[in-house]
Chains A and B, each alone.
Chain A
Amino acid sequence: MTISLTIDGTPIEVKKGTTILKAAHQLGIEIPSLCHNEAVEPYGACRVCIVEAADGKGWSRIVTSCNYEVFDGLQVNTHSEQVTDTRKVILDLILSSHPEAKAVQELATRYGVTKPSFVSQPGDDCILCGLCVRVCSEVVGVSALGFAHRGTTRELVTPFGEASPTCIGCGSCVYVCPTQCLHITDEGNRRILYKQRRENVFKEFDLLPCTACGKPFLPREQLAYVEKKFDLPGQLAQICSSCGGRKL
């Protein structure tokens, strides 16, 4: 079933169930966001992707485009005065709390916020977007990290602040983090996953060596995960990508 709508005056037809953000992408219209990623379900936390939705009959509302499903006759305005003003304040608030996060600085500058209105202790680039948590849960399926507490004390942690028993050291969280506050690094035969500062370790792994070249490359936990996922216990060769990839 197709739905007809307009975005910034341009008409488009999309499948039922499509979000405004997806429809806008199809038209090549840019709507900024910080907590959205195609690999996971929309979350609606950063609120940067807000737009004005109207029905042309007097109803209108500010909604997040990442998770608002379009309907017939929908009229979307991605840069009305209220949208622009609200987005600026939201970016100002995020920048104020994370003044050193490059992705936030760039986005804020692009939308008219050149310097933060409020002061914060620098050194915390985690914007609590939840992408790492959602990727770890929905894609990898091990839920090794999550949030704790609530309100302004909300933070990204591993359970009890200790090495998560389920983390496999895959680095998906690092890959998806928009502000690069998560890091993963191999140091000799150890892999270290840490947040923001080197001493804030989430987990350390012993690396198994490649049976071909001897280079340490594979956390035991990751091997066990892949073996379990594809039901191939003990059948995987420990060969690093340089030496030709692993047998799957």
Chain B
Amino acid sequence: MEKIRSLRQLEELQRSLVSKTDPDAPTLTLCGGTGCRAYGCLEVVSAFRQELKKHKLSRKVAIRTTGCHGFCEKGPMVLLSPQEIFYQQVSEADVPEIVEKTLINGETIDRLLYKDPLTGQSIVKEFDIPFYKLQNRLLLGTNLVIDPTSITDYIAQGGYQALWKALTSMSPEEIINEVKRSGLRGRGGGGFPTGRKWESCRKAQAENKYIICNADEGDPGAYMDRSLLEGNPHCVIEGMVIGGYAIGAREGYIYVRNEYPLAVAHAGKALKTARSYGFLGHDILGTGFSFDIKITKGGGAFVCGESTALMASLEGRPGEPRAKYIHTAERGLFDRPTNLNNVETWANVPLIILNGSSSFAALGTDGSKGTKIFSLVGKINNTGLVEVPMGITLKEIIFDIGGGIPNGKRFKAVQTGGPSGGCIPENLLDLRVDFDELSKAGSMMGSGGMIVMDEDNCMVDVARYFVTFLEEESCGKCTPCREGLRRMREILTRVCEGEGTEEDPDMLIKIAMAMKAGSLCDLGRTAANPILTTIRYFRHEYEAHIGQRKCPAFVCKNLVQYLIDPKKCVGCQACARVCPVPCIKGRKKKPHVINQARCIHCGSCFDACRFDAVQRT
């Protein structure tokens, strides 16, 4: 492969790639992200290959496996072009019918089409589906049209032209000013203005500087970065090379979570091909600028998402944060000036350089520009990744795009910002989503996780969940975080088991304030946010647990009793068969009874009963 050395070469390559593509040629695009792979999408791809071969269509119909499309609830999904037909939840068994009816005969198969949950109406085209229609997919949109293992797909979409523009027609200061003007703020959780961060690192005097892409996406329920790195690794690489040039670094790292093997594989391949094309490595694009990137995997520690802990891990030390009184922009990795940004932040850079800062700044609010990818998960109909302009309301995300709560349940809360964030109740659904508004409500944007909860979720249990998570993930170095989380977990466990006291909420707040003020790093400083917001907005649930020893959502095992309604029980014995103790007795076809003294409140009987005879009180 001859390296690209001029804009003309790059543009000619792009033109020739585009000319080879016939927009009217039939193509099957399948989502090949981790989520859909777990659904079996690769088996569906194989089935299509076989079926096309059978019908001698292999040369006429192309199959493209892409990165994550974002509509994860409906995978495996197939998009048929040029008709733009979207089929959802496709299994291997559906493949012959799709080939025969749709590809050959031009008919749509209604049962595979998306159905509007309210009207029941079938929607044929992908971009008519409200989930996609209401989004603004500047970043994720590219996932749908490129094979992430193909650099030529990326180039055909205009890839690496921003890099060319930056290296040949802009000075580092101009690039930094452009990023500043765009208003881009860190997408990893801190929300710090990216341009200012780059500027302070540029100003630091040192021979060696580093840039880091933080892909240690530890917030449970958030997988935006995984999808970007799996689905379009080149846009992240391009952003990093531009950043390296602007800051004056020659080396960069992509630090990926250990739990993301596909992202590691795709990013690794992308680095190799980028080098072979001359977009990375020695003398990039013939400009004399040399910069290279190394991939490192995390070791399974949430705390390594914190920048100084990540750097410690890159230095071969345990992921213990250090005080940031001296910023990492001055002294970071190996004590050198280091600029660390999140995956999504880097991915936005080529767009800003190519299209200009004003087009980026045209979206969003005064304080939060551009789009943000959120992972909408939990009790939601349309689970998946949504990319929306900053300033959209929570209600629009959850109900218009997300399709609302499944099974007719009532919305209770949405948790944003991961374990550092908070739970936002129903009366704040009109909140405009941006960095500052979410902070005012006691939560934060975080990396973009949005966990929706309904009436069947217990908010005290949610607080306990987060505290238990953080207790395991805390590095344990500083006392407020380590000991504070220990005691908060003990208190919440007692409350969930029906042994809470009236002093408990106040003690939780007391510890929380000490952790906020005294902890070494942001994990400790923000650890109490889930507790503080649940006490603020759902105090009545704490009071029910403490005062009445009741769990209104029937989640806390010790506070839930399972009883069999003799009027509804038909004696099918399904509950007795699954009871692990066992503690359910009854004759066949006679009402059964649960022995309350032996019952361990596991709920298996409740799951097994088909007649709604098992009641919870």
Tell me the nearest residue of chain A to B301, going by C-beta: A150
From B480, B485, B486, give the contact of A47 (CB < 8 A). Answer: B480
- List B contacts of A96 (CB < 8 A): 483, 487
Tell me the nearest residue of chain B to A34, going by C-beta: B479
CB pair B513 A86 closer than 8 Å: yes
Q: Could you tell me the distance in whole angstroms from the C-beta of A147 to the nearest C-beta in chain B?
A: 8
From A67, A85, A152, give the contact of B482 (CB < 8 A). Answer: A152
Interface stretch, picked from A3-11, A87-95, A191-199, A228-236, is A87-95
Name the residue in A64, A89, A128, A153 with the highest tally of chain B Cβ atoms < 10 Å from its Cβ: A89
Interface stretch, picked from B150-158, B259-267, B466-474, is B466-474
Question: A140-183: contact bitstring with B at CB < 8 Å (1 yes, 0 no)?
Answer: 00000001011111100000000000000000000000000000
Residues of chain B in range 312-359 having any CB-CB distance to chain A below 8 Å: 318, 322-323, 325-326
Tell me the nearest residue of chain A to B484, going by C-beta: A93
B519 within 8 A of A: yes
CB pair A69 B325 closer than 8 Å: yes
Q: Could you tell me the distance in whole angstroms from the C-beta of A23 to the nearest C-beta in chain B?
A: 15
B42 within 8 A of A: no
CB pair A50 B518 closer than 8 Å: yes
Distance between Cα atoms of A85 and B479 in the complex (Å)? 15
Tell me the nearest residue of chain B to A64, going by C-beta: B323
- List B contacts of A127 (CB < 8 A): 479
- List B contacts of A93 (CB < 8 A): 479-480, 483-484, 487, 511, 514
CB pair A152 B474 closer than 8 Å: yes
B144 within 8 A of A: no
B517 within 8 A of A: yes
CB pair B325 A90 closer than 8 Å: no
> Mind listing 9 A-B residue pairs with CB under 8 Å?
A44-B520, A85-B513, A118-B490, A128-B476, A151-B475, A152-B483, A152-B485, A152-B486, A154-B482
- List A contacts of B482 (CB < 8 A): 128, 151-152, 154
Q: Could you tell me the distance in whole angstroms from the C-beta of A225 to the nearest C-beta in chain B?
A: 24
Question: A34-70: contact bitstring with B at CB < 8 Å (1 yes, 0 no)?
Answer: 0000000000111110100000000000111001110
Listed in ascending order, the chain A residues whose CB lies under 8 Å from chain B are 44-48, 50, 62-64, 67-69, 82, 85-87, 89-90, 93-94, 96-97, 117-118, 127-128, 130, 147, 149-154
Q: Could you tell me the distance in whole angstroms from the C-beta of A59 to the nearest C-beta in chain B?
A: 13
- List A contacts of B325 (CB < 8 A): 63, 67-69
Query: Taking A151-B475, A152-B482 as contacts, is the C-beta distance between A47 and B510 under 8 angstroms?
Result: no
Interface of B is mostly: helix
B17 within 8 A of A: no
Question: B342-386: contact bitstring with A at CB < 8 Å (1 yes, 0 no)?
Answer: 000000000000000000000000000000000000000000000
B507 within 8 A of A: yes
Distance between Cα atoms of A86 and B482 in the complex (Å)? 15
- List A contacts of B479 (CB < 8 A): 45-48, 90, 93-94, 127-128
- List A contacts of B486 (CB < 8 A): 97, 152
Question: B477-508: contact bitstring with A at CB < 8 Å (1 yes, 0 no)?
Answer: 11110111111001000000000000000010
Q: Could you tell me the distance in whole angstroms from the C-beta of A95 to the nearest C-beta in chain B?
A: 10
- List B contacts of A85 (CB < 8 A): 513-514
Closest 10 CB pairs of A and B: A154-B476, A89-B514, A93-B483, A151-B474, A86-B517, A47-B518, A151-B476, A62-B517, A150-B476, A152-B486
Interface size class of B (residues with CB under 8 A): 20 to 34
Tell me the nearest residue of chain B to A91, going by C-beta: B479
CB pair A152 B476 closer than 8 Å: yes
Instruction: Please report the number of residue pairs spanning A and B whose Cβ atoms sit closer than 8 angstroms.
Output: 103
Distance between Cα atoms of A154 and B326 in the complex (Å)? 27
Q: Could you tell me the distance in whole angstroms from the C-beta of B205 to the nearest C-beta in chain A?
A: 16
Listed in ascending order, the chain B residues whose CB lies under 8 Å from chain A are 301, 303, 318, 322-323, 325-326, 471-480, 482-487, 490, 507, 510-511, 513-514, 517-520
Distance between Cα atoms of A62 and B479 in the complex (Å)? 15
From B323, B487, B517, give the contact of A44 (CB < 8 A). Answer: B323
Query: Taking A150-B301, A151-B474, A152-B482 as contacts, is the C-beta distance between A50 and B487 under 8 angstroms?
Result: no
Q: Could you tell me the distance in whole angstroms from the C-beta of A12 to the nearest C-beta in chain B?
A: 19
Distance between Cα atoms of A151 and B475 in the complex (Å)? 5
Q: Could you tell me the distance in whole angstroms from the C-beta of A167 to the nearest C-beta in chain B?
A: 20
Q: Could you tell me the distance in whole angstroms from the C-beta of B493 to the nearest C-beta in chain A?
A: 13
- List B contacts of A86 (CB < 8 A): 480, 513-514, 517-518
CB pair B480 A90 closer than 8 Å: yes
Distance between Cα atoms of A50 and B487 in the complex (Å)? 21
- List B contacts of A63 (CB < 8 A): 323, 325
CB pair A94 B483 closer than 8 Å: yes
Name the residue in B326, B471, B475, B478 with the highest tally of chain A Cβ atoms < 10 Å from its Cβ: B478
- List A contacts of B487 (CB < 8 A): 93, 96, 117-118
CB pair B514 A90 closer than 8 Å: yes
Distance between Cα atoms of A67 and B326 in the complex (Å)? 10
- List A contacts of B519 (CB < 8 A): 47
CB pair B472 A151 closer than 8 Å: yes
Distance between Cα atoms of A147 and B53 in the complex (Å)? 60
Given A45-B477, A151-B471, A154-B482, output 8 extra A-B contacts at Cβ < 8 Å: A64-B323, A85-B514, A86-B517, A89-B518, A97-B483, A151-B472, A152-B476, A152-B486
- List B contacts of A117 (CB < 8 A): 487, 507
CB pair B513 A45 closer than 8 Å: no
CB pair A67 B483 closer than 8 Å: no
Tell me the nearest residue of chain B to A46, going by C-beta: B479
- List A contacts of B510 (CB < 8 A): 89
Q: Could you tell me the distance in whole angstroms from the C-beta of A128 to the nearest C-beta in chain B?
A: 7
CB pair B473 A151 closer than 8 Å: yes
Distance between Cα atoms of A87 and B480 in the complex (Å)? 10
Distance between Cα atoms of A127 and B478 in the complex (Å)? 10
Distance between Cα atoms of A127 and B483 in the complex (Å)? 11
Query: Taking A50-B517, A85-B514 as contacts, is the C-beta distance between A67 and B323 under 8 angstroms?
Result: yes
- List B contacts of A50 (CB < 8 A): 517-518
- List B contacts of A82 (CB < 8 A): 517
